[in-house]
Structures are given as structure tokens and as C-alpha cells.
Amino acid sequence: MIQPPPLALYVHFPWCVRKCPYCDFNSHEARGGVGGIPEDAYLAALIADLDAALPLLGERGFASVFFGGGTPSLMRAQTVDALLAACRQRRLFADGVDEVEITLEANPGTVEAGKFAAFRAAGVNRLSLGIQSFDDRKLAALGRIHTAAEARHAIELALEHVDNVNLDLMYALPQQTLDEARRDIETAIACAPTHLSAYHLTLEPNTPFHHAPPPLPDDDLAADMQEMVEATLAAAGYQHYETSAFARPGPHSDHRCRHNRNYWNFGDYLGIGAGAHSKLSDPQDVRRDARPRNPKDYLADPITRDWQEVPATELPFEFLMNALRLNDGFTPALFEARTGQPFAIVKKSALAARQEGLLDVANDHVRPTPRGRRYLNRLLGMFLADA
């Protein structure tokens, strides 16, 4: 029997000013500029989508909300406020949660940064800024439309209005040196955000960077950058809790992203908006759904869903793909609660991974070693035979 896990809400806003050449997310350039976005119609579709899903949620409420994109900060604050109000009216926020974590992704452009106070007034209590780099040449190479000066100004405004701020950074950028990557991390630390996400730039299929790759650092240099990032953030007091995520401990606050930790612990989430994905569990099975990716198609029918049951044989590996991203790993009890299957079915592979120094396996906990975190794909591959 599968125990229904915590529940989160993901809201996808699919438009952006300009699509970056490395981006493979479901994002679409707004034709005619921001004024060409059918925001009122999209809000109505989101609420209709939410209402259609209510019978599937049971008595559970959302412990977190995440506005992703695209560029959600292009939205009017009134739109964010209206959607959160719709959740409150339907009593969709979880009981027993001190404060529902509500994250909004934002670009650090001048227009978006000017809305931060209004977003906070609407209920947003966590901002995630897509900085990527503090080097104007690197920003240009990435196709970003903001400058390093705008990034610094946006961070100041974000921290002025919101207590919990994440900065997204990338390393192994086109022609980047180790010193340049270090300056980006040190600049970010000097801004004193509560959370940092540092991602290795990858060439995703069906992106301009994949079709025409820019000159990137080789694998050895990229590995040196990763080690530098982890060591520099550790020295600055940031807790490395997930593959790419670092949080600043606080005496009264846990700055680790609650919403993303729910994903990594194989929790449930309802996705609304064009291209959003959902995963919902009940005692019998786990089901998934993906919304239409094209905004026009979604606006035409935001209600119809096509739920697909995840085969029981796939649940253990899906759980592990998420949980092994966490430095603290997971307990066998959580594995069994989320998959409805005994931990014994993967224990042989877990012990083999321990033999290779990739995994720590104790009676009450399973966690990747530093070597396992470095070679995560190798570690996961050892469990494929169990799938």
C-alpha cells in the first residue's frame, strides 16, 4: 500500500521575452512583447484547471507553491494574488504548516525587479532569481537579456522585500576559466542570499546550443569548477544538501527549498498551466499527467487530463532517481511508503554500490557518498537491473 505523501502545487507560466539558446524548458517568446500575453485568459484557465483537479486531492492541502516558467515575473502581481486567493478560498493550503512556501522565479531585469514588493504583498515569500553569471560577456554568450549591474540591483531589491532569496548560477560556461567561475560564486556569496543553486551548463537536445555548440570547458576543467563551487560555498557556511542546491542555515529558519525537497523525496504535486506535469498517489497506485505544452492548446482546453498509471515495476527506480540527489539520501521506510514495495528488492544493488564506494548503507539510512554524488549516473545505473 502506498501512503499518500505531502502535496505541492506547481504553476507554469510559459512566456518569456526571449528564449535562451541553452533552454529546453517549455517556454515561448511573447509575440508582440509582454502586452501580447493573454494573461487574463490564462489566469481563468489556471483556476479552471485547479478546480477540475480538486476531486483528486482528497483532504490534502498544498505545503508549497512554485511559479515556474518561462518567466513568471512577467506576470502582474494581481494575477499571482488572484490565483493564491483562489487557493485560499478553496481551503487548499495545508494545515499544520507554519507558513506555506510560495516561490516565484524571476529574471533580474529592471521591469521584473520593480514588481518584487507587489509580489511579496500578494503572498510570495521566496524569490528565485535567474542570475546565471555576473560577467556581462558570459551573460551575452548565454543569450540573457539582463546585465551584471541589473543582477546586483535585483538581488538588493529582492532581499529588501523577501527574506528567502535563491540565486541561480551556472558554471562551465562558454570559454569560462576557473577564476571566472570562482568570481561568480564569490560575488554571489557577497550578496548574502539565503540559498544558491549552481548548475553545470549542459547542451540539451533540441536547443540552439545543442545544434551549434559553443566552446565549452573540457570535462576536467568542469570537474575542477564543480569542486571549487562546493568548497567555496562550504567555506562560506552554505549547506550542500542536494546535487546543485546550497542553503544558508539559520537559527530559526530552514532555507532549504521545501518545494524541491518534496520532489526529491518522491512527494506528490499538482501541475497547472501549459506543459505542467503532475504526480498523484493513492493507496493503490501512482499516476502522472502532462498538460498540453502549447499555450494555445492549453487555453482551448485547460480541464481535460489524461492520467497514466506508473507501472509498479518503475516506482523503485523513479524514487531512487530523485532521492539519491539528496546528500542525506533516504530511509528504507520512506522508500517503502512512497513505492509500496519492500526495500529488499533493491538491497542487493545497494550493497553492490556500497562495495564500489558509491553508497553508504546502514540499517536506518541510505545516502550517496561524495564519490557517489560525483558519479551519480553511475550510481543510478547500478539500480537499472532492478527496474
Residues paired with residue 279 on neighbouring β-strands, in sequence order? 269, 288
Q: What 3-state class would DSSP assign to 360?
A: strand
pLDDT reported for residue 78: 97
Residues of the chain above pLDDT 90, percent: 86
What are the residues whose beta carbons fall under 8 Å from the beta carbon of 226, sequence distance 6 or more? Answer: 171, 200, 374
pLDDT reported for residue 289: 97
pLDDT reported for residue 111: 75
- Dump pLDDT digits (tens) for 75-94: 999 999 999 999 999 999 98
- Dump pLDDT digits (tens) for 188-203: 999 999 999 999 999 9
Contacts 24+ apart (CB under 8 A), 198-202: 198/169, 198/170, 198/171, 198/229, 198/233, 198/244, 198/246, 199/168, 199/169, 199/170, 199/171, 199/244, 200/170, 200/171, 200/172, 200/225, 200/226, 200/244, 201/22, 201/170, 201/171, 201/172, 201/173, 202/22
d(CA 37, CA 53): 25
- Dump pLDDT digits (tens) for 249-292: 877 678 999 999 999 999 999 999 999 999 999 888 999 999 99
- Work out the average pLDDT over 209-232: 95
- The pLDDT-based confidence of 109 (bands split at 50, 70, 90) is confident
pLDDT reported for residue 387: 59
For residues 69 and 13, the answer to whether their CB atoms sit within 8 Å is: yes
pLDDT reported for residue 114: 87
- Dump pLDDT digits (tens) for 349-387: 999 999 999 999 987 899 999 999 999 999 999 998 765
Q: What 3-state class would DSSP assign to 40?
A: helix
pLDDT reported for residue 281: 94
- Higher-pLDDT residue of 157 and 95 is 157
The closest of 273, 127, 263 to 194, measured between CA atoms, is: 127
What are the φ/ψ torsions at residue 289 (nearest 5 degrees)? -150, 150
What are the residues whose beta carbons fall under 8 Å from the beta carbon of 42, sequence distance 6 or more? Answer: 13, 79, 273, 295, 299
pLDDT reported for residue 144: 94
- Higher-pLDDT residue of 363 and 157 is 157
Q: Which domains does the chain have, with CATH numbers?
A: 7-261 (3.20.20.70), 311-387 (1.10.10.920)
The closest of 70, 99, 74, 69 to 84, measured between CA atoms, is: 99
Residues of the chain above pLDDT 70, percent: 98
d(CA 215, CA 72): 31
- Dump pLDDT digits (tens) for 35-89: 789 999 999 999 999 999 999 998 899 999 999 999 999 999 999 999 999 999 9
- The pLDDT-based confidence of 157 (bands split at 50, 70, 90) is very high
For residues 128 and 168, the answer to whether their CB atoms sit within 8 Å is: yes
pLDDT reported for residue 249: 86
Q: What 3-state class would DSSP assign to 233?
A: helix
- Work out the average pLDDT over 116-126: 96
d(CA 307, CA 338): 19
- The pLDDT-based confidence of 173 (bands split at 50, 70, 90) is very high
- The pLDDT-based confidence of 31 (bands split at 50, 70, 90) is confident
Which residue do the cell numbers 504583498 mark? 121
pLDDT reported for residue 212: 92
pLDDT reported for residue 288: 97
- Work out the average pLDDT over 214-236: 96
What is the DSSP code string of 144-199?
Answer: -SS-HHHHHHHHHHHHHH-SEEEEEEEES-TT--HHHHHHHHHHHHHT--SEEEEE
- Higher-pLDDT residue of 27 and 111 is 27
Which residue do the cell numbers 524548458 mark? 25
- Work out the average pLDDT over 239-247: 97
Q: Over the chain, what is the mean pLDDT?
A: 94
d(CA 303, CA 323): 31
Whether the predicted pLDDT of 345 surpasses 70 = yes
- Work out the average pLDDT over 231-239: 97
pLDDT reported for residue 98: 72
For residues 150 and 126, the answer to whether their CB atoms sit within 8 Å is: no
Cell readout for 122 is 500578494
pLDDT reported for residue 33: 65
**How do beta strands 366-368 and 7-13 pair?**
unpaired
